[in-house]
């Protein structure tokens, strides 16, 4: 099946987090941390997914001393531009977040870059916080590679989360605050449109 962008639709994962018997307790919140290129665009997608309670852009993969934008741009810190997602698992599952990540957030076959943004800080990565997240992510990548939905193999790193460092305040909600920025117009607004077109049941407007 083809999407509105002309590419094959990314299937849902065959395995996902299993709710506890009786369902999720009231007000349960889970976390996910992903990296998929410039964090402005990654945030602009996930903050519009139903069930996502809060998103924060920042850095993962390096030390606290280098967790700042100027240092990370040197491409020598080990950090990736990342996003921390706080979500309600009774509304949206970890597997569904992964599906959005691989579908409309970025191209997971590009190594250490996304489009014109080049360097290890723009790498594709899933920072897992439990063995369950690790297993689901690894099996999903194998599933996607086996289906041939992408023309090239997925290069997404699946690594344990050591720590997530929040980014500078001016980076938070950047796409929403700067909708006329040429970079946002070209790189990020189309991703929001793709989310709405491919996952209308998940899409909700974000007002900050």
Residues with a catalytic annotation lie at: 38
State which H helix or E strand residue 30 sits in.
strand 30-36
The SS3 assignment for 29 reads coil
Say how far apart CA 49 and CA 54 lie, in whole Å: 10
Q: For residue 122, what are the contacts with CB-CB under 8 A and spacing of at least 6? A: 37, 38, 80, 81, 112, 113, 114
- 82, 118, 186 from 6: Cα distances, Å: 28, 25, 18
């Amino acid at each position: 099946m083809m999407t509105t962008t002309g590419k094959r639709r990314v299937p849902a994962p065959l395995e996902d987090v299993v709710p506890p018997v009786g369902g999720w307790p009231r007000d349960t919140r889970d976390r996910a941390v992903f990296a998929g290129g410039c964090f402005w665009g990654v945030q602009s997608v996930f903050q519009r997914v139903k069930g996502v309670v809060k998103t924060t852009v920042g850095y993962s993969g390096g030390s606290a001393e280098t967790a700042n934008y100027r240092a990370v741009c040197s491409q020598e810190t080990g950090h990736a531009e990342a996003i921390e997602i706080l979500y309600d698992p009774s509304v949206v599952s970890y597997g569904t977040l992964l599906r959005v990540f691989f579908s409309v957030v970025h191209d997971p076959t590009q190594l250490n870059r996304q489009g014109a943004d080049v360097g290890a800080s723009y790498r594709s990565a899933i920072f897992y916080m439990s063995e369950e997240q690790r297993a689901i992510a690894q099996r999903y990548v194998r599933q996607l590679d086996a289906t041939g939905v992408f023309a090239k193999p997925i290069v997404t790193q699946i690594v344990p989360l050591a720590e997530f460092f929040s980014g500078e305040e001016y980076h938070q909600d950047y796409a929403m605050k700067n909708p006329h920025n040429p970079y946002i117009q070209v790189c990020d607004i189309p991703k929001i449109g793709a989310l709405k077109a491919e996952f209308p049941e998940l899409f909700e407007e974000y007002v900050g």
